[in-house]
Chain A
């Protein structure tokens, strides 16, 4: 096997591993909090049509806080790892706290460099959760 790609960019191998580091791949292969449940306080679905990513979040509340949140769906490693990490991160948080989470918080959680072409993947889980909360509030 010729190794031209590696010769071309010496730092390439490490750069590729950086985005798909073990932590990300672990969440992708073994997502936390996967699986629909009911009854739930609310659920919400969002898709990234351009990627074929499709996530649905199921939320249970206690005293205005996240008691349980789980997801169902499919996507790339970045979107699945991100939503998996998000479900762990938001447990116990208030809706208002979750609504304040921004792009930087989500990327911080992922802990990997995400280029502009993959930003939508990284943020799909957060968008699903926040849009779900917004819909839940208007439904109240």
Chain B
């Protein structure tokens, strides 16, 4: 049996226990929960809800169209959100394209960039990719005839950089990798890969879905050409995301969707594209969503991203230590001490992850069980699924204690 786990915070009020009060799901939800599924979607704090609500109540109009005060106010809030995201990524505002999320950002890139690719060309991704950064390339590889190459994992479940150096060659036209694995928590040396990519003239794309909002991101420092993120994984609303692109790269890229707002001039036979980033934003955008994401960035800014990162790291270390003490529990992730995202994947011997997740649910412990949209990685690991506990700014050590109790309970029910 497991020995008692001490509350890491000693039960004292910290900035984090105060932050928890900002998340209405804890007070208004149907039940008391230990929410440990932030990697799938984070909770949303009150100021984000308030910002979206204010848009709907105070200046509910379309942006960039109406020549009246309400539309101009809405436009200012929408463009203001773009400025906030630019500052958040250390980019310029015209390098920020609003999308529906990481998936749409990556599809946009895959479709638009692969137009110029064909037989003999290679796109390099990693075996850790979420399906969002794998299936688009795989399908376009079939259509366009280019090859898709996978950087493997080293034995310690970090990215095999030796293999990466061998795989990235003059044939490589695109390197697209996740910043942090949503299954293993492994953090990828993005800058090093960007240097390898640029040395052979390839475009560097970063899937930052699991990094944004959890650690400071500086696109100039990473030197990536494109970066994708999702608002709903960083305290923002669903349905809004970002594609960052270096200005020159965005200008060179053909538009992905056509329609209103993305044009300057339309004639019967041809059209002239709007300037970046509007060239990529066809149709009425998710105005409230963008405003909400801007508010999420303000909220994270108040907490401080370095502080967010160390809080999530502490909770992760606490969880790793607690899980290591439970017989029959196997943790999958990079070695202790390495840089990692705030999540822990594990299995309980003799219990299918879905059965465990169901028992956890009945205990108010919310985790994800399954393949986490990374089936090639799970196959590589020889697993058909894991349980994943993932953390956010609102996660308390008590949530991890509840997880441990739920694991013990599961083991008792399944008699393992």
Contacts and interface: CB of A to CB of B under 8 A. Distances in A.
Contact of A16 (B33, B359, B398, B402): B359
Interface in B377-416: 384-385, 398, 401-402, 404-406, 408-409, 413-415
Interface residues on A, range: 20 to 34
Contact of A51 (B364, B370, B409): B370
Contacts of B404: 1
Contacts of A50: 370-371
A8 B351 CA distance: 24
A25 B414 CA distance: 7
B352 A76 contact: yes
A16 B105 CA distance: 40
B365 interface: yes
Contacts of A121: 354
B352 A8 contact: no
B364 A8 contact: yes
Interface in A60-108: 74-78
A49 B355 CA distance: 16
A16 B413 contact: yes
B402 A8 contact: yes
Contact of B5 (A2, A8, A77): A2
Contact of B355 (A1, A5, A12, A76): A76
B333 to A, nearest CB: 20
B354 A6 contact: no
Nearest to B1: A1
A77 B355 contact: yes
B66 to A, nearest CB: 42
B370 A13 contact: no
Given A1-B408, A51-B370, A12 B402 contact: no
A101 B248 CA distance: 61
Interface in A1-30: 1-6, 8-9, 12-13, 15-20, 25
Contact of B33 (A8, A19, A117): A8
B370 A9 contact: no
A52 interface: yes
B138 interface: no
Given A8-B364, A12-B364, A16-B362, A118 B354 contact: yes
Given A5-B405, A51-B385, A16 B352 contact: no
Given A2-B4, A9-B31, A20 B371 contact: no
Contacts of B413: 16-17, 20, 25
Q: Output the residue of B351, B359, B375, B408 with the most chain A CB within 10 A.
A: B359
B363 to A, nearest CB: 4
Given A51-B370, A77-B352, A118-B358, A4 B405 contact: yes
Interface in B340-372: 351-355, 358-359, 361-365, 370-371
B2 interface: yes
Nearest to A74: B384
Contacts of B402: 4-5, 8
| Chain A, interface SS category | helix
A20 B363 contact: no
B380 to A, nearest CB: 14
A32 B406 CA distance: 29
A19 B361 CA distance: 11
B34 interface: yes
B249 interface: no
B32 interface: yes
Interface string B13-50: 00000000000000000011110000000000000000
Given A51-B354, A76-B352, A19 B362 contact: yes
A51 B386 CA distance: 10
A1 B2 contact: yes
A52 B354 CA distance: 10
Contacts of B406: 5
Interface in B258-280: none
A24 to B, nearest CB: 10
Q: Output the residue of A3, A5, A8, A15 with the most chain B CB within 10 A.
A: A5
Given A2-B4, A16-B409, A20-B355, A9 B414 contact: no
Interface string B148-168: 000000000000000000000
B385 A52 contact: yes
A4 B409 CA distance: 12
Contacts of A75: 352
A4 B398 contact: yes
Contacts of B371: 50, 52
Given A4-B401, A12-B363, A52 B384 contact: yes
A32 B138 CA distance: 42
Interface of A: 1-6, 8-9, 12-13, 15-20, 25, 49-52, 74-78, 115, 117-118, 121
10 contacts: A1-B3, A1-B405, A4-B34, A19-B362, A20-B358, A51-B352, A51-B354, A77-B351, A77-B414, A78-B355
